Copies of this chain bind each other. A is one copy, B any other.
Amino acid sequence: MKKLFKTLAVFFITLTTIFATETLNLMPVPKSLELNNSKCYLHREFKIEIKSHHGDDLYTYATRILRRLDERTGLCFHQDILVPNEPVENAFLTIETQRQGQVKLYENESYELVISESEIKLNAVTDIGAMRGLETLLQLLGADENGYFFPTLKINDEPRFPWRGLMIDVARHFHDVHVIKRNIDGMAALKMNVLHLHLCDDQGFRIESKVFPKLHLISGEEQYFSQEQIKDIVRYAKARGIRVIPEFDVPGHGTSFIVAYPELSSSNKPVTLERTWGVHDPTLNPTEDITYKFLDQLFEEMGTLFPDEYFHIGGDENNGKEWSANEKIKKFMKDNHIPDNHALQTYFNKQILKILTHHQKKMIGWDEILQPELPRESVVHSWRGPNFLVQAVRNGYQTILSNGYYIDLIQPASYHYMIDPVPQDSNLTEEEIKFVLGGEATMWSEFVDDDVIDSRIWPRTAAIAERFWSPAEIQDIDDMYRRLEVTCFRLEEHGLNHIRYQEMFFRRLTNNQDTRPLKTLVDVIEMLKIYNRHRTFFKNEKYQSHTPLTRVVDATLPDPKIPREFSKLIDQYISSDFSPEYEQKIRNQLNLWKKNDPDLRAIAKKSPMLNEILPMSEKLTTMSEIGIKTLEYIKSQKKPSIFWKRNALKSLENCKEQVAGTELMVVAPIEKLVMKITD
C-alpha cells in the first residue's frame, strides 16, 4: 500500500508538470516522468547506437526512427542504416536491451528514457520495450527559433494492460495490405500491441486457403490476402512488437464457409455470399463430423500462418434459426441431452477447443462463448457489455473488453476515453483485476473502405490506446484532446489517410469547384451514431457491399472539433454572465454559418451529388438565425413574443433530424442559449 501511494505521488507531480508546461504531447502518458528545465538540441551528427545485439528488428526500427526524425526536421542526418555489429562512433542516442522480446502476451514492454543536454539513453529489458521508448522520444520532439530539440527529462514507463488491440474487419469491406500496414505503424506509434483481423463473415472469406481454396475463390473478386501477404503482415507487425490474432467466426456468420462448402450447412437452403449487412441465418452444422474435420484441417493450416498462441473463433450472433428448423439437428440434441441452442453452441465450442488445443492454440471468442464448461485457458472477448466481462472474470476467465470501444459507432474520443477495461463499480478484487488483460478497439467495416477507414480509426483510437497503457488516473479530457490533436497530425507520417482523404472527397463532391462552403457545413455535421445510418438509405432499401462510400456523410469526421469548441464557447458566454467578448465570437460564427447556404447551393448546381445535403445546409441557416436572434434578446434584455421561444425550440428540434445519414452537432448549445432568455 505504501508503494502505491509513492507511485501516485510521483505521478501527480508529473501530471501537474505536463499541464503547466503544455509543451509535452505524449500519448499515451507515461507511468512516470521527471521534467528538467533545459533542452537537448538535434543536429546533423545525431546518431543512434544499439549497444547490445538482441535480434535485428530493433536495428530496422531505429533506422526508421532516424528517417522519421529526419523527415520531420530536414536535418539530413549523416547516419544511414543501423546494422548489427557495426560500431557507431560518437552516438548521441544509445540503446541498451537485456534480451530479445517475444511477440506474445505478457512480454515486458517497459523502458527507461533519460535525455540530458549532451546525450540520450534508452534502456529496456526487451527490444520491444526499446521500440516503445523510441516512439516516446519521437513524440517529445519540439522546435523553437534555435532549432529542433528534446526536453531534458527522465521517463520510466510500462503499460497498465498487456493486451492493447485494434480489430479490423476485412470481411465486410476488404482492406489492402498497404492499408493494414499503415495502420500497424499507427498502432506502434501509440504503443498498441495486438492486431486482430476479422478474416471471414457472411460477405466473404479473406485469406487464401490452400487446403480449401473455394473459401477465398468463391467470390470471384480476388479480395483476399494471399498466404504470402499474411506472412508479410505478420512479419511486419512482429518487427514492431505487435501480435496478429486471426479470427474465423464460427458457427454463425458462416455464409462464406457454406457457399464454398455447402456440406457444412445446417440447412438445405441454397445460399450466396451476402451483399448486405446484419445478422444472417447461415450457420455451420455442429452435429456432423464433417464440420469438425473441416475446421481441424483449416485451423491447422491457418494456425501455422499466425504464430500467436491465441486463435479467435468468433462465436457471436448465432441466431439459431437454422438449428431450430433442422429435424436432424433436433434429433441429435435430443439423443445427446442437449437442451437448447445455447447448449448446442457450447457443445460446438468444446469440439473446437479440442481442435485448437491439439494445434497448440488457446481459444478466444466473443462473450457468447462464456458457457458452463468453457475451459479456463480460454479468453472471453466482451462486446455486449461490461457485465459480461465481470461475469467472465468472476468465473475465473481472462477477458478483454471491446464494449465501449466500437469505433464504428462514431462516438466521441471522450466517450471511449472514459471507459476503463476494469468496469467501474464492479468491485473486482485486486486478484480478479489481473484477469482483465486489456481491450480492443473494433473497426467493423460496413461503412469503411480503403479511403475512409483511417479516418474512422484515427485519431480516436489513440485515446483508447492511452486508456490501455497509461495509469487509470489519467482522465483529463481537455488535455487528452489537446494532445490528441498533435497525435492526429503526427500520424500522417505513416501514410495514414485520415486527414487528407477529406479534401479529396470535397473535391469530388463539389466536382472540383470551391470546397470551402462544403467544408463549413461538414465541419459541424457528423455521421449518425450507433447503428442509425443503416436505417437512412433509400426507402425500403438496405445498404449493399457495393453502395458507394463517397457521399457527404462519408466525408464527415467523427468527433469534429468545431462543435466541441462552439459548445464550450456558449458555456463560457453563459458562465461569464453574457460577456460581450464571447458574444462577438458567437455572432461571428453564426453569421458565417448563416450565409453559407447560398454558396453551397450555387456549387450544387454543378454537382448534384450535393443535393441530398442541402436540407441540412438549410437547417444550419435556420439554427444560426435563431441563435443570432437569441443573442439580441439576451443583449437587449427584451422579452420575445409569447410564441417566439416555443417556435424557436420547435425549429431547433427539427434541426436535429437526420439528413442523408448525418446530424447537426451544434444545435444543443443554441438550445441552451434559447433557454437563457428570460421569459
Contacts and interface: CB of A to CB of B under 8 A. Distances in A.
A420 B187 CA distance: 50
Contacts of A489: 507, 512
A507 B495 contact: no
A499 B492 contact: no
Interface string A63-79: 00001001111101100
A564 B81 CA distance: 42
Nearest to A228: B228
Nearest to A608: B147
A568 B547 CA distance: 44
A546 B176 contact: no
Given A81-B221, A143-B608, A228-B228, A76 B511 contact: no
Interface string A459-496: 00000000000000000000000000010010011010
A538 B75 CA distance: 10
A373 interface: no
A548 interface: yes
A551 B178 CA distance: 24
A275 interface: yes
Interface residues of A, number: 56
A607 interface: yes
A144 interface: yes
Interface in A429-466: 450-451
A27 to B, nearest CB: 14
A76 B608 contact: no
Contact of A507 (B228, B492, B501, B504): B492
B80 A275 contact: yes
A550 interface: yes
A451 B495 contact: yes
A550 B605 contact: no
A441 B146 CA distance: 43
A616 to B, nearest CB: 15
Interface in A492-532: 492-493, 495, 499-501, 503-504, 507-508, 511-512
Interface string A156-184: 00000000000000000000111000000
Interface in A186-225: 220-221
Nearest to A485: B512
A224 to B, nearest CB: 12
A226 interface: yes
A144 B605 contact: yes
Given A76-B538, A81-B221, A503-B500, A546 B508 contact: no
A377 interface: no
A76 B147 contact: no
A67 B508 CA distance: 14
Contacts of A679: none
A609 interface: yes
Contacts of A511: 143
Contacts of A545: 80
Interface in A398-420: none
A92 interface: no
A237 B178 CA distance: 18
Contact of A74 (B80, B81, B501, B548): B548
A22 to B, nearest CB: 14
A145 B605 contact: yes
Contacts of A140: none
Nearest to A147: B608
B546 A143 contact: no
Interface of A: 67, 70-74, 76-77, 80-81, 83, 143-148, 176-178, 220-221, 226, 228, 275, 450-451, 486, 489, 492-493, 495, 499-501, 503-504, 507-508, 511-512, 537-538, 544-548, 550-551, 605-609, 612
10 contacts: A70-B548, A72-B508, A74-B612, A76-B537, A76-B547, A144-B605, A144-B606, A145-B608, A178-B178, A500-B504
